[in-house]
Amino acid sequence: ASHAKTLTAVAGFAAVGAYTVRGRDPAHAEPLNPQAGNSSGTKGWFSKPWSSYQAVPALPDLVPGYDRVHIMRRSFYSVSLFTQLRDKESSKSNFVDASRKLTVMLFNEAMSLVPHKPRTVTTPVDGASYVGMDIPNPETELCIVSILRGADCMADEISRLYPEVPIGKILIQRDEETAEPKLFFSKLPSDIEKRRIVLVDPMLATGGTASTAVEVLREAGVYEQSIVYVSMVAAPEGIDELMKTHPQIRMICGEVDRSLNSRKYIVPGLGDFGDRFYGTVP
């Protein structure tokens, strides 16, 4: 069944900034004071002295109606970046700046969706121990795959964080008349089937291009469960299509928009990402 109706409500949340999804309206909320307890006089859950690692690491929120589709944690800072990205009056430099910053934020969230290995280390102070974890080895266990050309900027930004991680490329273009995807080119690491894949694509519209990219990875020996698809802006129709054709992948979106228009463009959207990023707007 389609989740477009459910996601329309999510899109409204993304568009108008209804922060009540976390149970707090910043215009009226009071700061939390754990030591003050609640109205019944009960103290907070923590043990004294409180330290931040008492809190369990959290996954990004799930999009309602799905168990493998996540949404980036929404903050005042992320909203300001999306405002900069969506504004048709934004200069190229402002658009590029917002894109790069959002890519880093999204990648940080995406890395929460790959398996981590627990590891306890000893700190330099008093022989104290810290129970932590390691991400997969970027050089031998990860691969970034970009869907050309818009996603190249995302792959480049991630490569700055992890220069050792290999980058795969897939070129798929959408027919402007039929909106159907066509594969033109792919170049992937020879051992890609052994790696966790972060598949980046700035915009998920109909889902056809993303589904084709996942098919290319499947044909190269990659399991669906090893793929995390990362998109800045997604339409409900695209999410429905991608999860229908590849239900075992995981997805992280920056924001979920309202719908597609008659020309299959995301609304409210942000225009053609590649043209705006590279300065080739007609």
pLDDT tens across the length of the chain (282 residues):
445 444 443 433 333 333 233 333 333 333 334 344 444 444 455 556 667 766 778 889 999 999 999 999 999 999 999 999 999 999 999 999 999 999 999 999 999 999 999 999 999 999 999 889 999 999 999 999 999 888 999 999 999 999 999 999 999 886 767 667 888 999 999 999 999 999 999 999 999 999 999 999 999 999 999 999 999 999 999 999 999 999 999 999 999 999 999 989 999 999 999 999 999 988
pLDDT at site 127: 92
CA distance 36 to 42: 9
CA distance 266 to 238: 10
Q: Note whether 66 and 72 are within 8 A (CB).
A: no
- Cα dihedral 215, 216, 217, 221 in deg (nearest 10): 90
pLDDT at site 27: 39
Measure the CA angle with vertex 111, ends 273 and 254; round to 5°.
35
| Beta strands at 142-148 and 167-174: parallel, antiparallel or unpaired | parallel
Residue type, 223: Y
Measure the CA angle with vertex 221, ends 215 and 222; round to 5°.
70
Q: State the pTM of this model.
A: 0.81
pLDDT at site 47: 59
Which residues are known catalytic residues? 174, 178, 272, 275
Backbone angles phi, psi at 19, to 5 degrees: -75, 0
pLDDT at site 282: 80
pLDDT at site 32: 39
